[in-house]
Amino acid sequence: MSQEARAALAQLSDDALQTLILELGRYALSVSSRLYWRTGNAVDLPRGETVDSIVSKALTQVLSGERRWNPQAAPDLQKYLMGVIDSLLSHLAQHKDNTTLRAVPRLDDDSEALLRPAPGATAWHQEPQDPESVLLQHEQTAYEDRVLQHLLDVSQDDPLVTQIIQAMRDGHDKPGEVATALGLPVSDVYNAMKRLDRKMMRVRQNLQAV
């Protein structure tokens, strides 16, 4: 059991803890979106995992001491947790269940479109080799582009949310990084991200109604 991690989390207010979990979820989604998944979906992953379950697993491993956090070596617990998420997603992407099986992508989830790297962005991923998988991945990319456009459309009334979407696609995962990139107070970014979450829910509802 990691007493240091438990103590650090215990010092957070309920709002701060919720914000931490949301930021870890956004980060996990941004990393997942840069990897190849046989499911064709950056949220619902192989082996029954999801982006949320990866975040939960990272927290559990750190709190249980399976992953030992050393505050002296890595003072920022959130950055350490992000590193654990990187490791978990990387191992899952390289697992045989992901590399030897193929499945038709489930084109019913739009969340990955938000944080998918912009064209030309550098990101490690495993390219499928067979023509069918290449075609399916192209279809998934086209779908994600439509979803992103839908999200931008519903955000036209909120220029700051539009700026945040672009900043996150440029690789700025944390609110502090987004605030620095846009030259804004972090509090403004936090408030805008709450609006962004609500707009994402509208996009999901609209797509499900189609």
Residue 121 is predicted with a pLDDT of: 45
Q: How many CB atoms lie within 10 A of CB 178?
A: 24
Q: Are 112 and 34 in contact (CB under 8 A)?
A: no
Picking from 162, 161, 154, the residue whose alpha carbon sits closest to that of residue 205 is 154
Q: And the tokens for 149? A: 């456009």
Q: Which of 96, 116, 118 is nearest to 43 (CA)?
A: 116
Letter for the amino acid at 198? R
Cα–Cα distance, 186 to 180 (Å, whole number): 8
> Distance between CA atoms of 140 and 138, rounded to whole angstroms?
5
pLDDT the model gives residue 204: 67
Block means of pLDDT (10 residues each) for the chain, 210 residues, are 83 88 89 81 84 92 89 90 93 77 38 47 47 62 69 86 84 80 87 81 67
Return the biggest CA–CA distance within the chain: 52
Q: Which of 73, 70, 25 is nearest to 51 (CA)?
A: 25
- Residue 122: the pLDDT is 42
Structure token digits, residue 48? 């029954």
pTM score of the predicted model = 0.53
Do residues 130 and 102 make contact, with C-beta atoms less than 8 angstroms apart? yes
81 contacts 8 by C-beta, under 8 angstroms: no
- Taking phi over 0 as left and psi of -120 to 50 as alpha, with beta for the rest, 48 belongs to left
How high is the pLDDT of residue 105? 37
**What is the pLDDT, as a whole number, of residue 103?**
38
